[in-house]
Structure 1
């Protein structure tokens, strides 16, 4: 088994360098033998998990870990409402969208009601990658262009098409010739700059470069919290100029809400709402079914019209009854259990605690986020703001050993990526903050 360090994935397990039990070491070898070399594990000592409940994950020895990272199960692991919805529906009917079934329509109505009225259609798939792939197909058909503009550390999926505009996958995954990257809108590194004006100018430059090479722009697509870029939430409103620029060039704006969406920002249901813009398309995934595979592309009807009349869309499992039941239960839980409000209140408590840690630890250069998603930029010192990648990795792995799970993002792989379930409590937050304090102090 190769022991080469994979520099394209932060916080990756390096075979032969961990401190694993004989059982887990054998499982790593078996995994490599059966699944091949492309898969990666997280942490210096990978976790062997067997069960999850709420905000907790449990390893093979029964040890609990506070999950402050996995937004796939945004309601927490094994949320009873979602489990019951899946169990009930799988015992009744599991079929696709080529048959009449009311559940997909009931869910579509309830989901679309959370969006601006201009976004009137929804198409279902299984993963965020598929949702973004579909968005690009429709964008090309509608605009007649192929050019895509993304930020320089963004992630939008793993299909061949979408990986070509997912630069965070690393240098071994080539970007398409029709793709242009722009610098992440990073207020911390441009402290005396109007971030909105700079981002708009960068997008306009990318548009000009596409046109110079004979490539008509099709879309600007961004994760509205720039999560993989390092969680770049503020200032609210800075996207508007860039959205106007892509539309003026004949392209459309796609908000990738796979990570920012479903109430995570606290103040809004969707991340793009923080910027006062209305996208032409919105893509959804990960937390939509709390682990049950379902995703969606939400679209302005006038953009979908011609595509729909000329190109059939079918996805064998996209929008199946079981996944729609899970997604309906997720949306009900968010609304009935007031989880958007919980994200706002508990998120504010976490933000206050993180700011206190920044004041206490010189390696914390910046604290940023919205609701229950945060990025803590780790630096060698606050004066130089130089990326502290090695320290970041040590902090993440100390926390893992302390029973708290987070990970890493950002261009310098030096941003702590923190996104707990929406059911996170103040008590959970205090436990997390105490563990982070200990991990930072060890530096």
Structure 2
């Protein structure tokens, strides 16, 4: 079946945007299935750098249909800003398709997001404050506004008139004030509906028809597996299903429609915000990784916490997602380190643990069990030229590191990335689609 899924195997920020863009060269559709404007994908094309938040990574390519699935929550203001920035680069964005079933992030969701986080006191979960959690909460509570509602004025007015008083009372209970102007809100949402009517459709039909027609469809995750609402470091997670299982509900396709799953894996580990991070480094090596890796959030600008590669995390992701291979990114950041450590298990109260625990308190007490590998030195010449020469041209220490990861996870490193550009990539997969 001509479908690929690109999934993050850590806490996000693994380089999914670059890998999706690289693979999209042969794709007909790129379909994003979860998350909101709290995610960020950075793509480099020549000297151009694109920071995407809601738009699928395929939007950079004019011949690709880029689908925002029903599993997303859409901030209309943010989406319009992204579309305008895209048009300024000379790209039309004509391939965009928005699911009529995707929920809308309302202005009050942002206010409630901040109010709820403040109410948690010292137990904050590190939300981006963009209203994502409250929007998903409303979706589940059947109190949401959907993109399709923006095309039906009578329905939209009725929904907001019903929901607004409830939100006002909830905000008051948290010490916040919404100050909702229902008329102004309706008018603004209707204007977005009119502007985007050409993009809004039943994307489940679109994607399923494309698969039946034999077109090449790529499913793109936003955050990483460890932020999954069920299988991540709960409660320090996002509000949607980031694993490959989320594709079915987030796009509207059956499990049989999900073909090969590629897990994007950074050569070390990072995470943004609060929550346990067993292999975190707070020393000079951690600062080195942060600086050389440019580890600052695409969406928030927040500095990412950095640490050695955690194979307990990656094995967890491989199993949950059914990964056929991994795309190993940012190996170049480890250049010139004399020794590289890899976390292979945890010590929790004196017990060796090799499977990722669900109990957050166990994770907070866990100590990393490391194995050490020799580092490697930088290569001479450009990274792009190195990649043209293929895998065997990589430094021996780097190849040993890759092989160690392959043995430990049980899956091959099908794609090797040693830079941000499309040409700084080695594709070792035998079957491309």
* TM-score, length of structure 2 as denominator length: 0.26
TM-score, normalised to structure 1's length? Answer: 0.25
Q: Between Structure 1 and Structure 2, which shows a larger proportion of strand residues?
A: 2
